[in-house]
Structure 1
Amino acid sequence: MTAVPVPEVSAPLRRDRPSRAASAPATGLLLAVLSATAFSTSGAFAASLLATGWTPAALVTVRLSLAALVLLAPALWQLRGRMHLLRRHGLRIVTYGAVTMAACQLCYFYAVSRLSVGVALLLEYTAPVLIVALVWLRTRTRPGWLRLAGAGVAMVGLALVLDVADGMRLDPVGVAFGLASAVCCAAYFLMSSRADDELPPLVLAGGGLASAAVVLGVVAALGLVPTAWSADPVVLVGAEVSPLVPLLGIALVAAVLAYLTGIAASRRLGATLASFVGLLEVVVAVVWAWLLVGQLPTSGQLVGGLVILLGVVAVKADEVRAARRGRLDGSAPPVPVLS
């Protein structure tokens, strides 16, 4: 989120036309919700493919590869006359894809192999709490009580949505992989949130997807993760369709659209708020699972969704209060560091 300079006392405030800085948070929230909604479709699309024999590693490799191919031409077009950006940011792009996309998903796969899905997801989605802690360490400033309370409330809601108590099993190695996926997830929001970045979101997303697809392809070729796929029809919305339908959905919606809007949202909101809004992904995923593959949500999941939303509102309220405090004491709000 970009800091908004406060005008001098003698200068009258113009209220007839909102500035770009003032509209950035609202636009960022819309983009963050859109990104979470797009990411959430992956579960329902993936479930239909996994039921026919696809393995998670094969599915993610195809997903990222297709998404990278879709973004290749637009990214090159946006780089026309600016190819020096690839030389200047090449290492960052490769790291972005290898860590926030490939490593994040690989760690999650290994976590699921030893833990229940709910526990593995709960560990991965502790990323917002990690970001709050990192900002606290970097700035030496304790977060507001609303932000801390919002973080706690959001984690409780997440546990309800994922129903972690049902079939819960713990394993030290699995927990380690789950926490590693949380670190990679936090890195996604932190690396995406550079508001002053000269690298267009389209190029960052496209390059990251390409490098992630290469990493996952190498891992699969070495046999480090099981890979299998099937050409059998899948069932979506109660009807049999070609597997190309969910594959295109998981690539175009749950990868291309999700990453582009996620990067744009993080640059407007900062890593902290964007990561908490991202928790809505698990809530919307429950809805998609209901609509597309007939998995009905439980009452506990619905309550958990409301609790997550309450936590996000608390985090946002803390940001508004901090900005208002900065204006009241006559100084501009501090420039956020990593958040």
Structure 2
Amino acid sequence: MATSTHHSAALVRTGLVFALASATSFGLSGPLARGLMNAGWSAAAVVAVRVLLAGVVLLPLALPQLRGDWMLLRANAKLIVAYGLVAVAGTQLAYFNAVAHMTVGAALLIEYTAPIAVVGWLWARHRQRPGAATVGGAALGILGLLLVLDVVSGLSVDPVGIIWALAAMFGAAAYFVLSAHGTDLPGTVLAAGGLLIGGVILLLAGAVGIVPLRATTTEVVFADFTTPWWIPVALIGIVTAAVAYVTGIAATRRLGSRLASFVALTEVLAALAFAWALLGEAPRPIQLLGGTMILLGVVIVRLGEPTPVPVGDPEAQTAADDAAAKPG
């Protein structure tokens, strides 16, 4: 029992490191994408290049891990396709369209109400009923969302941006749920497969005119400097996609969907910092207050939920199942 507890604690510590690395990497994507879109790129083109480059980078690492077991790939085909469609292409396209209509910070704060959606999904799908603290935290998060949109002062917020950001929120929730599945499939294989599928789907959608694919070689201008286009492209593909997705999957499989989605809120802080540094987007005081309320709300949601179970700890899973069966 002591060995199992120690193993579980080690998994959680490692998972937290992976989660923080993933959140920081993801946080850089919005400001880089905004820079590219300001230089003439379409949102779909940014996403397509980002995920395809990441998939190509990860492929040489994924194939050896697969060890020629194509049956394993076939058995997880639905998961990989869903991951590519929803967690990769859908979420990132929605997020980058959102930052084209509103600030990076506001778009990301809306997207990262996703942990509340994760809790709702686990309640509906797995009968893990939330308690009073969870409901109260969700209400606080919704109030914070209204402040982020600055509805109190009557600030005009593009409704198109809000719709895209909410779509990104549901996609992010799906990302955390899907990342916890298929534990027999190496995380790098899931990431590479999902990224490549997502990229190919975007290219096909662009070819038939569903989404505009437009890219330029114009230099990218940020707040205090200008850089060749290929530098942000390389960073957005390798750092904010390849590194971010692999570490994110590794974190979710160690922490579970709920805790991983909670730790991922540090992406909000990273993105705000990167947006301020690269784009000069200083958040308004009322938006900082709203962001704080969202973070507090999700913390309360997290505290109101059962202890997450790391992958690979059957004894802890049995205890968690017993706890989840009790009224919350």
Same fold (TM over 0.5): yes
Structure 1 or 2, whichever has the larger Rg, is 1
1:252 matched residue in structure 2: 238
- Structure-1 separation of matches of 2:95 and 2:185: 28
Task: Name the amino acid aligned to 1:85.
Answer: L
Report if the CA contact (8 A) 2:130-2:305 is conserved.
no
Deviations 1:35-66 (A, max 9, x none): 22211101111122112111111111111111
Report if the CA contact (8 A) 1:32-1:278 is conserved.
yes
Task: Name the amino acid aligned to 1:225.
Answer: V
1:238 matched residue in structure 2: 224
2:157 matched residue in structure 1: 168
1:72 matched residue in structure 2: 59
Report whether the alignment pairs 1:94 with 2:91.
no
2:49 matched residue in structure 1: 62
2:276 matched residue in structure 1: 290
**1:68 Cα shift?**
0.8
Within the candidate set 214, 230, 248, 2:200 is matched to 214
- Structure-2 separation of matches of 1:207 and 1:238: 37
| Structure 1 stretches lacking a partner, 5+ long | 1-6, 8-12, 324-330
**1:189 Cα shift?**
1.0
Identity of aligned residues (%): 43
Match of 2:270, SS? helix
**1:320 Cα shift?**
6.5
Deviations 1:159-208 (A, max 9, x none): 5445466322447x984x665544332221111013x7110110000000
Report whether the alignment pairs 1:39 with 2:23.
no
Alpha carbons of 1:284 and 1:151: their partners in 2 closer, same or farther (altered >3 Å)? farther
| Structure 2 stretches lacking a partner, 5+ long | 310-317
Task: Name the amino acid aligned to 2:240.
Answer: A
Report if the CA contact (8 A) 1:100-1:185 is conserved.
yes
Taking the TM superposition and a 5 Å limit, the aligned residue runs for 1:303-314 are 303-314=289-300
Task: Name the amino acid aligned to 2:156.
Answer: G
Q: More displaced, 293-302 or 254-263?
A: 293-302
Alpha carbons of 1:162 and 1:45: their partners in 2 closer, same or farther (altered >3 Å)? farther
Task: Name the amino acid aligned to 2:204.
Answer: V
**1:298 Cα shift?**
2.6
Report if the CA contact (8 A) 1:110-1:174 is conserved.
no
- Structure-1 separation of matches of 2:322 and 2:270: 32
1:192 matched residue in structure 2: 179
**1:146 Cα shift?**
2.4
The two structures, once aligned, show a CA RMSD in angstroms of: 3.2
